[in-house]
Amino acid sequence: MARRSGRRPGNPDTRESILDAARSAFADKGFDGASIRGIATGAGVDPALVHHYFGTKNQLFLAAMNSPIDPGEIIAQALEGDRAQVGDRLVRTFLTIWDSPAGTAGVALLRSAVGSEWTARLFREFVVTQIMRRILPRLALDPAEAPLRISLVASQMAGLAMVRYVIKIEPMVSASPEALVAAVGPNVQRYISGDLGATFAVERD
């Protein structure tokens, strides 16, 4: 588990200024457009201090999102192994994280994501750069289909989180993780490796 704990160096006010500037930059310019230098300027500090406090741009983004885990790293682990069971493993990993104390932060992240256009944009950058972009090369998908396949997986996972942890509709709340793996895993598997229909194929031509 890539839990980001341990030492948190520096002045709390300075840290918060940097995180505020980072959120603005990532939401306004996107992850790729934002720079450590620009974020440092926004916070009125030296770029070296940003690196010193938070490490890489990726790590700064995870801190700015209050993400208790590095989703890209954890999902990468779930992708290893038999291709035909990857749907089950992704659902199992997802439930393990959300059922853990990290799930509270997940609910907060989802709440914040849905709160406004601005926070939705920040969350979209998070999902695209920290999750989708990092798992894409590991799945060896047809490049023309990969973005749709992965966003379909994201839709099922987002909905699972909504119904089980936010809206809390039974019996999804009290169902065992393994029951949900059996129910949802094959659907995720179809999004990754199944036939998504002729309409889609025609549309991409």
- 120-179: which residues touch its own copies (CB under 8 A)? 120, 123-124, 127-128, 132, 147-148, 151-152, 154-160, 162-164, 166-172, 175-176, 178-179
Q: Minimum distance between the CB of residue 46 and its own copies, rounded to whole angstroms?
A: 34
Q: Whose Cβ is closer to its own copies: residue 5's or residue 174's? A: 174
Q: Which stretch binds its own copies (CB under 8 A): 33-41, 54-62, 70-78, 197-205?
A: 197-205
Note whether 111 binds its own copies by CB under 8 A.
yes
CA distance 161 to 100: 13
CA distance 188 to 192: 6
CA distance 76 to 139: 9
Note whether 81 binds its own copies by CB under 8 A.
no
148: which residues sit within 8 A by CB, 6+ positions away?
A: 196, 200
Note whether 1 binds its own copies by CB under 8 A.
no
Q: Whose Cβ is closer to its own copies: residue 3's or residue 111's? A: 111
Mutual angle of helices 12-33 and 36-43, in 10-degree steps: 140
Token couple for 185: 């895993």
Tell me the helices (H) and strands (E) count for the chain, helix number first: 12, 0
Cα 85 to Cα 73, 138, 154, 161, 196: the distances in Å are 19, 15, 17, 21, 18
Q: Binder to its own copies among 21, 78, 95, 184 (CB under 8 A)?
A: 184
Token couple for 152: 């379909």
Place of tokens 């035909």: 84
Q: Minimum distance between the CB of residue 44 and its own copies, rounded to whole angstroms?
A: 31
Q: Whose Cβ is closer to its own copies: residue 24's or residue 189's? A: 189
Q: Whose Cβ is closer to its own copies: residue 53's or residue 123's? A: 123
Binding site for its own copies (CB under 8 A): 110-111, 113-116, 120, 123-124, 127-128, 132, 147-148, 151-152, 154-160, 162-164, 166-172, 175-176, 178-179, 181-184, 186-187, 190-191, 196-200, 203
